[in-house]
Amino acid sequence: MALRSTAKGWGPVARAFHWGMLLLFLGIIPVGYYMTDLPLGLAKLKIYALHKSVGLTLLGLAVLRLVWRLGDRRPTLPPMPAWQARAASAAHALLYVLMFAMPLSGWVYNSASHFPLQWFRLVNLPAIVGENKPLAALAKEAHEVGALVLIAIVVLHAAAALKHHFVDKDATLRQMLPSKGDRR
C-alpha cells in the first residue's frame, strides 16, 4: 500500500496524522478550559500535567506531520471556485501555524512561570525561557487567544468539508476519510 498521497486522495500517513491529531485536539481543548477552574490541589496539578503531556505529544506529531507533508503531494482538488481553494489552503497553513503556536506558547508560559514540565511522568523537559513574569503573562494571553482562533478555524474548516460532502457532493471529504473509495 502506498503511504503517500495520490492525485485521488490523501495517503494513509496524512490521514492518520489528520484524524489522530483531531482526536487529541478534541481531548486537550476541553481539558484546557476545564482545568483552569479547578481549585488548587493535587487533582489540578495532575490534570495540568496531562494537558501538558498531550500538548507536547501534539507538538511532536506536528513536527513529523509537517516534515511528511513537505515531502508529500496534495490530491487534485475537486472542481470548486478559486476563492474556496485559496481559503482552504490558507486555513490549512493557519492550522499548521497553530499546531506549533499552541504547544510552544504553552511551553513558554510554563517555563516563564517556573513550573516543572514532565512528559507523562517519563522525561522532564527543560525550560525554554527563564523565569519572567511579563513574558509568562504574554504567553498565557497568546495561548488563550490562540485556542479561540484554533477553534474558530477548525469549525470553519470542518463546516467547509461537510458542505463539500453533503451540499456539493464532491470528493473533498472522501479524499481524507479512511474509506477505500476514491483512492488508489
Chain residues in the site for ligand HEM (CB under 6 A):
14, 17-18, 22, 25, 28-29, 32-33, 36, 48, 51-52, 55-56, 58, 69, 75, 88, 92, 95-96, 99, 102-103, 106-107, 109-110, 117, 140, 143-144, 147, 154, 157-158, 161, 172-173, 175-176
C-alpha count within 13 angstroms, C-beta hemisphere, residue 166: 6
Rounded CA-CA distance 157/95 in Å is 9
Q: Using N-to-C axis directions, what is the helix angle for 42-70 and 82-112, rounded to 10°?
A: 140
Rounded CA-CA distance 143/145 in Å is 6
Provide, for the chain, the percentages of residues in helix, strand and coil under a 3-state DSSP scheme, each rounded to the nearest 5.
65, 5, 30
Using CB under 8 A as the binding criterion, the count of chain residues that bind other proteins stands at 17
Q: Which single residue is written with the C-alpha cell 468539508?
A: 161
Which among 62, 45, 51 has a CA at the least distance from the CA of 28? Answer: 51
Q: Of the two residues 1 and 47, which places its CB atom closer to ligand HEM in the complex?
A: 47
Scanning 17-25, 97-105, 115-123, 140-148 for contacts with other proteins by CB under 8 A, the matching segment is: 115-123
Q: Of the two residues 1 and 35, which places its CB atom closer to ligand HEM in the complex?
A: 35
Q: Of the two residues 1 and 62, which places its CB atom closer to ligand HEM in the complex?
A: 62
Q: How far is the CB of 32 from other proteins (least distance, A)?
A: 16
> What residue ranges bind other proteins (CB under 8 A)?
40-43, 45-46, 49, 113-118, 121, 124, 131, 133
